[in-house]
Amino acid sequence: MKKLLTAAVLAATAPLALTGAAPAAMAEEAAAELKIPPPPPGKGQVLFYRTGGLSGAALGCAVFDVGAEDKLSSLGAGKYFILVSDPGPRSFTVKSLETKDALTLEIEEGETQFVRCKIKTGFMSGRADIGPSTETEFRAKHKNPKLVDAEDMSPAVKATNYPGQ
């Protein structure tokens, strides 16, 4: 009888214990969510991200300004970086062994735009593909986004993403 009474008490209090834990777990999840800072006054910004997946997992997605020799950054699977820019048109390209893809954006003051890079299947290796995206798509694809390592960024991009380093 004593075991039956203990089981009944545990069964009755279990939902209370779970509801007490749920807000704590939800708070932890919300704290882990990326908070995207606004661009500095007079500037706009672009958040570049790379989708994950098995296709091209070992390849990086090197992002360049069109015509530039030095890359802005390389995106590994599940990584992102933010580029602060003056308003106006700006063109970007990604390169891989088989192809080169480009995208031109009209950067607006005070606005954050999103650009995704994914690696598509190619003949000999993966093909980098760059395209416009949205914050909703970015958050749906990345529950726990990781910032690109500082050594994979140009000095200007590093200054935005790793201030004080």
CATH number at residue 82: 2.60.40
Question: Would residue 56 be called left, alpha or beta, if left means φ above 0 and alpha means ψ between -120 and 50 degrees?
Answer: left
Contact 114/133 with Cβ under 8 angstroms?
Answer: yes
d(CA 69, CA 153): 14
Q: Are residues 28 and 48 in the same domain?
A: no
DSSP 134-162: -HHHHHHH-SS-EEPPGGGB-HHHHHHHS
Scan for tokens 């070992």, then name that residue: 58
Question: How many domains does the chain contain in total?
Answer: 2
Q: Are residues 14 and 95 in the same domain?
A: no
Domain that residue 26 falls in? 1-32
The predicted structure's pLDDT at residue 157: 93
Give the helix/strand (H/E) hosting 17: helix 2-32
Q: Are residues 58 and 135 in the same domain?
A: yes
Q: Are residues 138 and 63 in the same domain?
A: yes
User: How do residues 26-45 score in pLDDT, each as one tens digit?
Assistant: 334 443 578 999 999 999 99
Residue 38 falls within a domain, yes or no?
no
Q: Are residues 63 and 119 in the same domain?
A: yes
Q: Are residues 148 and 106 in the same domain?
A: yes
Q: Are residues 4 and 56 in the same domain?
A: no
Q: Are residues 105 and 155 in the same domain?
A: yes
Question: Is it the case that residue 12 has pLDDT exceeding 60?
Answer: no
Question: Is it the case that residue 81 has pLDDT exceeding 70?
Answer: yes
Residue 37 falls within a domain, yes or no?
no
The predicted structure's pLDDT at residue 55: 47
Q: Are residues 13 and 65 in the same domain?
A: no
35 φ/ψ angles, rounded to the nearest 5 degrees: -100, 115
Contact 113/105 with Cβ under 8 angstroms?
Answer: yes
Q: Are residues 152 and 75 in the same domain?
A: yes
User: How do residues 84-126 score in pLDDT, each as one tens digit?
Assistant: 999 999 999 997 665 678 999 999 999 999 999 988 765 555 6
Q: Are residues 82 and 106 in the same domain?
A: yes
Sign of CA dihedral 22, 28, 31, 33: negative
Tokens of 120: 């598509």
What's this model's pTM, rounded to 2 decimal places?
0.75
The predicted structure's pLDDT at residue 93: 93
Residue 75 falls within a domain, yes or no?
yes
Residue 133 falls within a domain, yes or no?
yes
